[in-house]
Amino acid sequence: MSTPDVRRYRITHRTSYRYDDVLEAGYNRGLLRPRETATQQVLSFELTSTPAAEQLSEHLDYFGNPSLYLETRAPVTELVVEAVSQVQVSWPAPDLAALDAWSVAEAAAVLAAELDPVEHTEFTWPSPLVAIDAGLGEYAAQVLGPDRPLGTALAELLHAIHRDFRYTTGATSVQTTLAEVLATRQGVCQDFAQLTVGCLRWAGLPARYVSGYLETVPPPGRPKLRGADATHAWASVRCPDGSWVDLDPTNDQFADSRYIVTAWGRDYSDVSPLRGVVFTEADSSTLSVEVDVEPC
């Protein structure tokens, strides 16, 4: 196995809410601090808000993600939350040849027997945004047949979703179902990650949805625009050797040291970056998100 790259990044994630009337108070939960993982070290993290938070606290959620509570009560028409992180990432490539020692069915059987039953259930059963039905099974069966070598099947699933589905901004929303994605054959990274998770679970393989960031590179000769990056999503599957292998069907590749993990869960509903409740008489609001992922 080749030695993985070691990379450092500075990530700025700025979220702005603007209202056409006064925002009296806001109570928000955020998954904005990157996770400590076997492949990732968090060097620093700072969260600021305008107006300044009346209360700011942190705990680990059910899945072990750092969860921030942010409470603001100053009357304003704009709320801005900015998270700045520095991380070091060193992510080895998966050994697909070694994973081919198991078939898909053998891997599923080993994991069912050896994993903690709660962990196995929460990442194998359907979840709020990942329904496992006949349509999903028909698609998954094309590459995740029970006798297929595991490593080969994972690579083919990655390539198949990238080939068969078109990346179309605005074609879907957080409420879009997998059945709709399968019918229209289009979506964004969130949809493709959840589709991958669904296919893996259909095959009996525990799979989780991963949220984070990916370093992007501008076209040759073009400067990188400030705020032009975005959050990203991909899938991760538990393997019988004890590893988790991360697949990004949006970009047709396995995760490497350009990928920064913020949170994981069953699907997007577990890991949205910022959500909460606000008190206002405003009739309308606008949301803008700016993300910068910069090597440092």
User: How does DSSP assign 6-46, residue by residue?
Assistant: -EEEEEEEEEEEEEEEEEEEEEEEE--SPPPBTTEEEEEEE
pLDDT tens, position by position, 215-245: 987 767 776 655 457 899 999 999 999 999 9
Question: Distance (Å, rounded) from C-alpha 38 to C-alpha 127?
Answer: 26
Distance CA 32, CA 35 (A): 9
Please state the separation of Cα 287 from the chain's center in Å: 20
To which residue do tokens 């450092």 refer?
A: 8
Give residue for tokens 């080749």. 2
pLDDT for 262-271, tens place per residue? 999 999 999 9
Per-residue pLDDT tens digits of the chain, which is 296 residues long: 557 799 999 999 999 999 999 999 999 999 999 999 999 999 999 999 999 999 999 999 999 999 999 999 999 999 999 999 999 999 999 999 999 999 999 999 999 999 999 999 999 999 999 999 999 999 999 999 999 999 999 999 999 999 999 999 898 988 899 999 999 999 999 999 999 999 999 999 999 999 999 998 776 777 665 545 789 999 999 999 999 999 999 999 999 999 999 999 999 999 999 999 999 999 999 999 999 999 99
**Domains of the chain by range and CATH?**
7-89+272-295 (2.60.40.2250), 96-271 (3.10.620.30)
For 161, residues 6+ apart whose C-beta sits below 8 A from its C-beta are 192, 195, 196, 199, 249
Is the separation of the CB atoms in 269 and 19 below 8 Å?
A: no
Scored b (16 or more CB within 10 A) or e, 95-119 reads: ebeebbebbbbebbeebeeebeeee
Distances (CA, A) of 155 to 159, 181, 212: 6, 21, 21
Summarize pLDDT for 200-219 with one digit per residue, the tens: 999 999 999 999 999 987 76
